[in-house]
Structure 1
Amino acid sequence: MKLIRDAIEFLFVIAIGGMLVSASRSILSRKVKVYICSQCNRPTSRAYERCRHCNAQIVE
């Protein structure tokens, strides 16, 4: 039983490591675009209609 648990734990570590490497490569190759608010010049999310810092309308 302990061997199975250790194998599953090892696979989780490999999977999480792969996701971290993939995300790091995307960020470093500039495939991930950071949206900057035009009013306060701070990074913000496209998921919301308004900037969470200054409440300005997000324009893409």
Structure 2
Amino acid sequence: PLCHGASELTRAQFRVAHRAFLTAYREASRRYLQGHWLVAFPAGSLRPPVLRPVADIAA
């Protein structure tokens, strides 16, 4: 994402932190959607929705 920083160092630090956040979120999301319901997500993120067919819910 775009980032306004006071210096190139600040922008680089943001990019590193953002990439780490995305990596952690993707891994947690993958595990969560595989059924590991208690997996920890990075602070400030939300769990993805678990979409199931209506037939599964009614059973």
Name stretches of at least 5 consecutive residues in structure 2 with no aligned partner: 1-6, 38-48
| The structure with more strand, counted as a fraction of residues | 1
Q: What CA RMSD, in Å, does the superposition of the two structures yield over aligned residues?
A: 2.9
Name stretches of at least 5 consecutive residues in structure 1 with no aligned partner: 39-57
| Post-superposition CA distance 1:28-58 (Å, at most 9, x none) | 2x247542134xxxxxxxxxxxxxxxxxxx8
* Greater relative CO, 1 or 2 (CA 8 Å, sep 6+): 2
Q: Give TM-score scaled by structure 1 length.
A: 0.50
| The structure with more helix, counted as a fraction of residues | 2
Cα separation, partners in 2 of 1:26 and 1:37, compared to 1, 3 Å: same
Aligned positions, number:
41
Percent of aligned pairs sharing the same letter: 10
